[in-house]
A = this chain, B = another copy of it.
Amino acid sequence: MTTQRVAIIGLGLIGGSVGLATQAMLPQIAVTGWDADPDVRRRAAERGLVTTVCDTAEDAVRDAELVILCVPVGAMEGAARAIAHALPQNAVVSDVGSSKRSVAEGLARALPGVTIIPAHPVAGTEKSGPDAGFSELFRHRWCIVTPPEGAPPEALQRVSDFWEGLGAKVEVMEAGHHDLVLAVTSHIPHLIAYTIVGTASDLEDVTRGEVIKYSAGGFRDFTRIAASDPTMWRDVFLSNRDAVLEVLGRFTEDLTALQRAIRNGDGDTLFDLFERTRAIRRSIIEEGQDDARPDFGRSDH
């Protein structure tokens, strides 16, 4: 089942990268695209993010075999409604949202009878917008596909083949489990990073200039992910509320235990945890999920 026409709705970091990657790695596919923002459409055309930038969402999807919604998760249902009447009979609709259960529900409401195969490429940078995308973003990264029960195997195959064609490694997972895994590996880290960056900038006794000046001590690692797109992340937390609150509860318990250890001068509890966390880092390096150079090579070691 070869895909020849793909439509991308939303041309920011992810949508733009999907468009560039498709043109670079699957040149037999014609990619149409559309974005709600006319400035983004103009810029997308200038950069050639897709083969054809259309004037309406309907025009973009009219001939598509595969439609990929690349908008913030809170905008998915609306984006799906906007294309509902223009979708060809056998089109498969997918997305790239960071939470999957609520997106799947929204898409099913907006597109009754349509084959929907939600997906989530676990890749990104802290940049956003039509200038941020690049064709290599998904290479060697995971793409988690969460087909609903009873989804046609050939539709799942179409989506999986497409992402593998862009260089990604595909994993199939149940949507609810995806949401819990991502709460741990992505959503809570972002929430914590946003929080500590906010806390630091609100202190009375330490100036913002001092925070910035001495950020190399650890703080700067948090600021990178706390610079991610605000709309996207607001939507992620609201749409994956249950899993986020559950993991956040665990984190808060663990932090309270460390707080007590510090207050009581209990060095053994601290040391034991700090030893254990090193092992996780080693595994991440071994699995090729991060750069092994100290400091990510920032010190030009």
Contacts and interface: CB of A to CB of B under 8 A. Distances in A.
Contacts of A191: 255, 258
A275 B197 CA distance: 11
A126 interface: yes
Nearest to A189: B218
B184 A211 contact: yes
Contacts of A190: 218
A255 to B, nearest CB: 5
A296 B127 CA distance: 11
Interface in A222-243: 222-228, 230-231, 233-235, 237-238, 241
A55 interface: no
A212 interface: yes
A55 B134 CA distance: 56
Contacts of A244: 262
A208 interface: yes
A105 interface: no
Nearest to A298: B291
Contacts of A180: 205-206
A89 B142 CA distance: 63
Nearest to A270: B234
Nearest to A253: B199
Nearest to A203: B184
> For the complex, would chain A's binding face be called helix, strand, loop or mixed by DSSP majority?
helix
Given A213-B142, A255-B195, A221 B125 contact: no
Contact of A299 (B137, B224, B258): B137
Contacts of A265: 238, 241
B203 A250 contact: yes
A21 to B, nearest CB: 12
Contact of A126 (B196, B276, B281): B281
Given A189-B196, A216-B122, A218-B193, A224 B290 contact: yes
Nearest to A176: B205
B295 A125 contact: yes
A221 B221 contact: yes
15 contacts: A122-B217, A134-B299, A184-B200, A185-B215, A189-B221, A191-B255, A192-B255, A198-B277, A202-B254, A212-B289, A213-B287, A220-B290, A224-B290, A252-B252, A296-B298
